[in-house]
Amino acid sequence: MRFVRHAIAAAVMSLAGVAQADDSMVVVELFTSQGCSSCPPADALLKELSKRDDVVALALHVDYWDYIGWKDDFADPKHVERQKGYARVAGRRSIYTPQMIIDGTNDVVGNRAKDVEMLINRHKTDQATVALSVDRSGDTVTVQAERLSGSGPLDLHFIRVDPGETVQIKRGENSGKTIDYSQIVTDWTAHSGWSGTGSYKIEFSAKGDDAVVVLAQEPDHGSILAAARLR
């Protein structure tokens, strides 16, 4: 196992004057759908994980179950492409929900809480290789990244996240249920301009109230080396 850790992931909320820093945050990506009958327990688990300081929780809703009777209005085809990329790298021929990807390297059925916790604890011990700092001023977010060890190019991912929504599902496999969804990914921008050496600085536009998450990840759906967030 490669030891790659989220370094000093500092997040600053300029309006509230609050700074967060954590050197052991683990990224949990949940691929889910409102039309999937197996997904509600995983959605509930992600909501609990999102309350933890040591986890960056992201819900990526997919659209490939829309045909069975209920359209997921949080779904984005880009989320499906990201899930397919992870499957291709892992040598898997199919994708499924609910699936969680831990730090870009391990996959697990998203409603298996004990397995998810085991993988989170494993990745919390990974060694720091990248430091990220994030600062927001108005509609502009400034990201500064520094390579602490290792080499090779890294992608920076700028993500907007809706903290939570409640949905009444009227058709499909979850018909009649009212489900709380959390950490819903509303936008995802990937930037591949960093060589992965020394220090790097970039600005992103961040209009609106959605939270901000920034990831440093090895190209082609590799390991996530750092994560920072603005709640």
- Per-residue pLDDT tens for 100-112? 999 999 999 999 9
pLDDT < 50 regions, the chain:
1-22
**Tokens for 133?**
């700092």
- Is residue 229 classed exposed, middle or buried when 0-12, 13-18 and 19+ CB atoms within 10 A define those classes? buried
- Which run of H or E residues covers position 46? helix 40-49
So what's the pLDDT on residue 3? Answer: 30
Distance of CA 231 to the CA centre of its chain: 13
Nearest residue to 103 via CA among 185, 204, 6: 6
So what's the pLDDT on residue 16? Answer: 32
Nearest residue to 109 via CA among 119, 120, 100: 100
Nearest residue to 25 via CA among 63, 70, 57: 57
- Per-residue pLDDT tens for 151-184? 999 999 999 999 999 999 999 999 999 999 999 9
Q: What is the mean pLDDT of the chain?
A: 90
Q: Do residues 156 and 19 make contact, with C-beta atoms less than 8 angstroms apart? A: no
Please give the model's pTM, rounded to 2 decimal places.
Answer: 0.90
Question: Can you tell me whether residue 15 is helix, strand or coil?
Answer: coil
User: Which regions of the chain does DSSP assign to beta strands (E)?
Assistant: 5-13, 18-22, 26-32, 55-61, 99-102, 106-109, 128-137, 140-147, 154-168, 178-194, 199-205, 211-217, 224-230
Please report, in angstroms and rounded to a whole number, the separation of the first and last CA atoms in the chain: 31
Nearest residue to 100 via CA among 212, 183, 166: 183
- Per-residue pLDDT tens for 6-27? 333 333 333 332 323 345 799 9
Question: Can you tell me whether residue 153 is helix, strand or coil?
Answer: coil
